[in-house]
Chain A
C-alpha cells in the first residue's frame, strides 16, 4: 500500500443535536473523500454498518442496463484475499445479516450485527471497496440469477410491469425511465468485464458514504472508520456521470396495459415534479403535505373520503410523492374503481375531486391532524435505527446534506395551506405526466 499519508484526517465533525429525545447524529469526512454519518442509539447491543456509493442504475453506459445491479450481486463474489461467498459467510458466522440494494441514484451494502463485531464488518467492506475479484465461474451463473430475479419480481407481477411501462413513458430522455434491474435483452449480454469496468470507474472512498447506526460511541466509531477506510486512496476515475435532462414536456402521455392476470383494474397517473433539493426543500415539503392530505389516510384523506366513502365509486384511491431522487421527483394519484364503474369514469371523478380540493382549499382540521402525525412520526422513527441510517444514506446519496435530512420536519412544519394549494397546481397541467390504465384484455370495467 502506498497511501499511508492520506489516512487519519477527519476534516469536519459536526454534532447536530436536535429534538429533545434524539440521540446525536455526527457527520465527518476523511481526507480521501469518504463521508461518514454516525447515529448513536445505545438501547440494544446492535449496530448497522452501511456503505452507500453515489452510483446507480441512472449512471449506466448505453446497452448495459442492469450493470449497476449486476455489480451489486458480484460484490459478494470475493476479493483478492477473500473467496466467493466468504463475505456473507463471515457475517453469518458472526450472527449477522447482510444485504445490498440498488436504486437509480445509489448502490448500498449493509450488515446488521452485534456491536462488538463492527470492526470486522469495516475490514471486509473496506477490502471490497478496492480489491474486488471474481472469475467467470462466479459471474456467469450470477447473470442467470439476476434474470431469474427479473422473472420473479417483475415479469411475474403485472403491477410491477405496469409501473415499468409508466416510468418508461414518463421519462423521455432521462435514465429514470430505464428499469433498475435492466431490460431483459440487455441483461442477457452483460459480462463480468463490464461489471468490473463499472466498479473501477465508480467505486472508491471519494464516491461513498459510510453510515453507522446503533450501539456505538461516536468517537470510537470514527476512529475505527479512519483505521479501516482511511488508507484507501481516492479513485481518480470518479467523476459525476452526466445524465440526459428531460426536454420540455409538451404532450401528456396515456397508456393502456392489458393483461389477463389483472385482478383489480385501476388508473394511475404520475407527474414529473421537483425532488428534494439541498437548502431548498420547501416545494418538496409542500408536495409531501399535498400527498398526505389527498391520500395519506385510507379513511380521512380527500380522495378516499370523497371517492370511497361519499360517492362509493372507489375501492381505494391514493396520492403519493416520491422526492428522494437526485434529478426528478414524481407525484402519483390513482383510483381503483368498484365493479361497474369504468376506468374512464373513475379517472374523471378523481380529477373532479382534485379540482374541487384546489378550489375549496385545505380543511384546517385535517391539516392540523396531519401536522401532528408528522411530528409524532419523528418520535416513533427513533425506534428504528436501521430506518434512520437509511434516511441519511439515501439523503446524502442524492445530494442532500445532514442538515437537510434532519431539518426536513421543520420545513414540513413551515408549510402553509396556501403552499399546499400552490403545489397542487402541478396536478392541473398534465403535459408532464403519464396516465395509465391497468386492465383485463376484455375491458371488464363495463361489466356488472
Chain B
C-alpha cells in the first residue's frame, strides 16, 4: 500500500563489481553467458528471442503476444490446469512475455528440480496446445487489457507518440494489437507466430546461480530439442517521421500527460554511451537531473520527469515524459524548449560531467546483485550486442569521456526545433 507513495519506485539494479562471466557453448552449439553463484540452491535462466511483435503482420497484430500468453496454458499431455499444477509442484516460476522486439522467457527453479523443470519448460516451448478454450479465455483477457489501455492517458500518449514517430512500420503500432485484430486471430495465426518467433537462431541465453557450465550446457541442449532452427525474416528499419509541433488528445482529468521528443541515437552508434551519459545529466530519472531540478524542485510543476534514449533494434527516439496540472502545460512546454536549447548550445559543464562519471561508475556494480537480475542482464547484454568483457571495461569507458566529446554529442542529440509533443488531457491555453 505504500508502493505508490514512494517518491520514485526503486530502480531495480543489483549486480557485482567484478562479474565473473563464463561463456558456455553446449554440445549442440548453443551459447550462453553464465554467472555461477553457489550459495543459494536455485538457478535463474533467461531466454530472449529477438523479433517479438515486429514479426506480426498488420492484419494479425497481436499474434505473437497472444501466442506468448498461451505458452503457459497447456502443453503436451497437460491442459492449462494440469500444466499450472505441475509448475506449482516443482515450485518453479515460468514467465513468458512478448514485447515489441522480443519474446522473453524467465525461469527460476530449485537446483534439485532442474531436470524436471527443463523438461516442463521444453514442453511449453515445443508442444504448446493452444486449446480453443484457452485461446478464447486469454483473448478475452487481452482485449480487456487493450480496452483499459485505451482509457489510460499514459498508454494513449505512448501510442500516439509511437504512431507519429514511426507511421506504418510495426514500431508505429500497438505491439499487443487492437481489439479488432486480436478478435480475428485464429489458431493458425497463433501457430504461425509460434513457428516464427521461437527459434534457435534468434535466442540469447543468460543464466545465474547454482549450476556449472557443463550442467548448463546439458540442460540447454535438452531444452532446445525440437525447437526449430529458424523462423521469420526480421523486418526493416523504422525511420523517425514525426513533424515538430504539438498534438493534443482531449482526456478528462486534473492533469495532462506530456510525451515529448524527437529522433534518437542508434544503439550500435559508436557514440551511444556518450549520448547515454549526456541524458543522465539532463533527465535520466534521478533527483539530481537538470529537468528534475528545474521543474520539480524549483517550481513544483510535477512529481517527476524523465527522459530516455529509446533505441530499439530497428529504430530509435529520444523521449521524455511527465504529468502536470492542466494549467501548467503551457509553461512546462516553454521550459522544456528552453532546456533543450540550452543543451544544444552549451552542453553540460565540467562539474556536471565529473559528477555523472562518479555516479555512473559507482552505480554500475549495483546492477549485479541477485541471480534473477544477473541472468536477465546476461541475456540482454548479448541481445544488445555487447562483448563479454564489456561489464569489466564499461566504467573505464565512462571515465575516459572528455567534456568535448560529451558536448559534441549534446549538440548532435538535442534539436529544439525538432521537438514533437503529445499532450493527453485538457491543457489550458493550448489548442
A117 contacts across to B, CB distance below 8 A: 362
CB-based contact B91/A376 at 8 Å: yes
Chain A positions within 8 Å of B110 at CB level: 376, 379
Which of A73, A263, A322: most chain B Cβ within 10 A?
A263
Given the known A-B contacts A88-B288, A95-B358, A95-B366, are A181 and B17 also in contact in the complex, defined by CB atoms under 8 Å?
Answer: no
How many angstroms from the CA of A328 to the CA of B346 in the assembled complex? Answer: 56
Is A255 on the interface with B (CB-CB < 8 A)? no
Q: Is the CB of B297 within 8 A of A85?
A: yes
Known interface pairs A43-B37, A46-B369, A148-B303; A96-B16 also in contact (CB < 8 Å): no
B window 281-326: CB within 8 A of A = 286-288, 293, 296-304, 323-325
B237 within 8 A of A: no
Is the CB–CB distance between B365 and A322 below 8 Å?
no
* CB within 8 Å for A151 and B254 given contacts A21-B40, A92-B288, A376-B110: yes
Q: Taking the complex as formed, is B49 at the interface, i.e. its CB lies under 8 A from any CB of chain A?
A: no
Count contacts between A and B, CB distance < 8 Å: 227
A409 on the B face (CB < 8 A): no
B84–A300 CB distance below 8 A: yes
Whether a CB of chain B sits under 8 angstroms from the CB of A145 is yes
Evaluate contact between B89 and A369: CB separation under 8 angstroms: yes
Q: Does B335 contact A (CB under 8 A)?
A: no
Question: What is the CA–CA distance of A377 and B85 in the complex, to the nearest angstrom?
Answer: 16
Tally A residues with Cβ within 8 Å of B.
Answer: 84
Number of interface residues of B (CB under 8 A): 81
Query: Which residue of A44, A93, A153, A312 contacts B303 across the interface (Cβ within 8 Å)?
Result: A153
CB-CB under 8 A for A43 and B17, given A156-B255, A263-B151, A372-B89: no
**Alpha-carbon separation in the docked complex, A95 to B312 (Å):** 27
Of the listed residues B2, B5, B93, B144, the one surrounded by the most CB atoms of chain A closer than 10 A to its CB is B5
B177 → chain A closest CB, angstroms = 16
Residues of B within 8 A of A69 (CB): 5
Chain B CB within 8 A of A336 CB: yes
Query: At the interface with chain B, which of A100-108, A412-420, A421-429?
Result: A100-108
- Which single residue of chain B is at the shortest CB-CB distance from A261? B151
Closest chain-B Cβ to A121's Cβ sits at a distance in Å of: 13
One of B257, B366, B368 near A97 (C-beta < 8 A): B366
Residues on the A chain within 8 Å of B8, using CB: 99
Contacting residues, chain A, for B257 (C-beta < 8 A):
156
Q: With A99-B10, A156-B255 in contact, is A297–B366 under 8 Å at CB?
A: no
A180 at interface, CB cutoff 8 A? yes
Residues 1-13 of B, flagged 1 when their CB comes within 8 A of A and 0 if not, give 1111111101101
**Inter-subunit contact B16/A45 (CB<8 Å):** yes
By a CB distance below 8 angstroms, the chain A residues around B144 are 263-264, 315, 336
Beta-carbon contact of B359 and A92 below 8 Å: yes
A379 touches B324 (CB 8 A): no
Whether B137 and A21, one on each chain, are in contact in the complex, defined by CB atoms closer than 8 angstroms, is no
Within 8 A of B (CB), among A97-146: 97, 99-104, 112-114, 117, 140-146
Task: Collect the chain A residues with CB atoms within 8 Å of residue B16's CB.
Answer: 43-46
B298 to chain A, nearest CB (A): 7
Which residues of chain A are near B255, meaning CB under 8 Å?
148, 151-152, 155-156
Interface status of A359 (Cβ within 8 A of chain B): no
Contacts of B300 in A (CB 8 A): 140-145, 147-148
Residue A316 CB within 8 A of the other chain? yes
- Report the nearest A residue to B370, measured CB to CB: A383
**Distance A77 CA – B164 CA, assembled complex (angstroms):** 40
What's the least CB distance linking B9 to chain A, in Å?
8
Closest Cβ of chain B: how far from A91's Cβ, in Å?
Answer: 9
How far apart are the CA atoms of A167 and B4 in the complex, in Å? 15
CB distance from B152 to the nearest CB of A (A): 8
Q: Does any Cβ of B come within 8 Å of A243's Cβ?
A: no
Closest-CB distance, A72 to chain B (whole angstroms): 8
Selected contact of B254 from candidates A156, A180, A373, CB within 8 Å: A156
Report whether B288 and A261 are in contact in the complex, using a CB–CB cutoff of 8 Å.
no
Complex Cα–Cα for A312 and B147 (A): 19
Q: How far is the CB of B128 from chain A (nearest CB, A)?
A: 15
Mask: chain A, 192-226; 1 = CB below 8 Å from B; 0 = not: 00000000000000000000001000000000000
Knowing A93-B359, A372-B88, A372-B89, the reply to whether A112 touches B151 (Cβ < 8 A) is no
Determine whether A94 belongs to the interface, using a CB cutoff of 8 Å to chain B.
Answer: yes
Which residues on the A side are within 8 Å of B293 (C-beta)?
85
Specify which chain A residues have a CB less than 8 angstroms from the CB of B89 in the assembled complex: 369, 372
For the complex, what is the distance from the CA of A321 to the CA of B65, rounded to whole Å? 31
Contact B108 A380 (CB under 8 A): yes
B304 vs chain A, min Cβ distance (A): 8
Complex partner residue of A300 from B85, B91, B153, CB under 8 angstroms: B85
B203 to chain A, nearest CB (A): 24
Residues from chain B with Cβ under 8 Å of A103 in the complex: 1-2, 5
Bound complex: CA of A142 vs CA of B1, how far in Å?
22
B416 CB to closest chain A CB (Å) equals: 25
- 1/0 per residue, CB under 8 A from A, across B174-194: the answer is 000000000000000000000
New contact pairs (8) apart from A370-B88, A380-B93, CB-CB < 8 Å: A46-B369, A101-B5, A103-B2, A114-B17, A147-B300, A148-B300, A263-B144, A369-B89
14 contacts between A and B (CB under 8 A): A46-B14, A73-B7, A85-B288, A88-B287, A88-B288, A146-B303, A152-B303, A152-B304, A153-B303, A264-B147, A300-B88, A309-B81, A379-B42, A386-B10
Binding site for B on A (CB under 8 A): 21, 43-46, 69, 72-73, 76, 84-85, 88-89, 92-97, 99-104, 112-114, 117, 140-149, 151-156, 160, 180-181, 214, 260-264, 297-300, 305, 308-309, 312, 315-316, 322, 336, 338-339, 365-366, 369-370, 372-373, 375-377, 379-380, 382-386
**Nearest 10 CB-CB pairs, A to B?**
A95-B362, A144-B300, A263-B148, A376-B91, A141-B300, A299-B84, A103-B2, A44-B369, A149-B303, A369-B88
